Amino acid sequence: MVEFNCNDLICPLCGEPLVAIGGSLLCVGRHTYDVARQGYVNLLPVQQKHSLHPGDTPEMLAARRAFLNEGHYAPICSDVIAALLRQGEPPCTLTDVGCGEGYYTAEFAREFPTARCIGADISKAAVKMAASRSKQISWIVATASHLPIADDSMDGITAMFSLVCEEEFARVLRKGGIVVEVTAGTNHLIELKQIIYDDVFEQHKHPKSPQGNLKEISCELRSFRLKLSNAQLRNLLQMTPHTLRVKPENRAQLEATPSLSLTVEYFVRVLQK
Ligand SMILES: C[S@@+](CC[C@H](N)C(=O)[O-])C[C@H]1O[C@@H](n2cnc3c(N)ncnc32)[C@H](O)[C@@H]1O
- Domains in the chain (CATH in brackets) are 19-272 (3.40.50.150)
Closest CA to 124 of 31, 54, 45: 54
How many angstroms does the Cα of residue 255 sit away from the middle of ligand 1?
26
> Does ligand 1 lie within 6 Å of residue 163's CB atom?
yes
pLDDT along the chain (273 residues), means of 10: 87 97 95 96 86 77 97 98 93 97 98 97 95 97 97 98 96 97 95 89 79 93 97 95 90 94 97 97
Residue from 49, 65, 121 to probe ligand 1 pocket by mutation (most atoms less than 8 Å from CB): 121
Which residues is 221 bridged to in the sheet?
Answer: 267
Question: How close is the Cα of 122 to the center of ligand 1, in Å?
Answer: 7
44 vs 258: CA distance, rounded Å? 42
pLDDT, residue 54, reads 65
Q: Is the CB of 99 under 6 A from ligand 1?
A: yes
Cβ(91) – ligand 1 distance below 6 Å:
no
Q: Give the residue ranges of DSSP H helices in 18-148.
A: 58-69, 74-86, 103-111, 124-130
Q: Is the CB of 143 under 6 A from ligand 1?
A: yes
Sheet strands (E) in the chain = 19-21, 24-26, 32-34, 40-42, 93-97, 116-121, 138-141, 154-160, 173-184, 215-229, 259-272
Per-residue model confidence as pLDDT tens digits over 92-103: 999 999 999 999
Model confidence over 3-23: pLDDT tens digits? 799 999 999 999 999 999 989
Q: 160 CA to middle of ligand 1, Å?
A: 8
Q: Output phi, psi for 264, to 5 deg.
A: -110, 115
Strand bridging mode 154-160 / 173-184: parallel
- How far is the centre of ligand 1, averaged over its atoms, from the C-alpha of 64 (Å)? 12
Cα 164 to Cα 5, 89, 112, 145, 181: the distances in Å are 24, 23, 22, 8, 8
- Which ligand 1 atom sits nearest the alpha carbon of residue 55? 25
Residue nearest to atom 4 of ligand 1 (CA): 100
Q: Ligand 1 in contact with 55 (CB < 6 A)?
A: yes
Confirm or reject: Cβ of 112 under 6 Å from ligand 1: no
What is the model's pLDDT at position 216? 96
Q: Which of 64, 143, 149, 162 to mutate to test the pocket of ligand 1 (most atoms within 8 A of CB)?
A: 162
124 lines ligand 1 (CB under 6 A): no
pLDDT of residue 161: 96
Distance from the alpha carbon of residue 108 to the mean position of ligand 1, in angstroms: 17
Ligand 1 center to 94 CA (angstroms): 16
Distance 28 CA to ligand 1 centre (A): 30
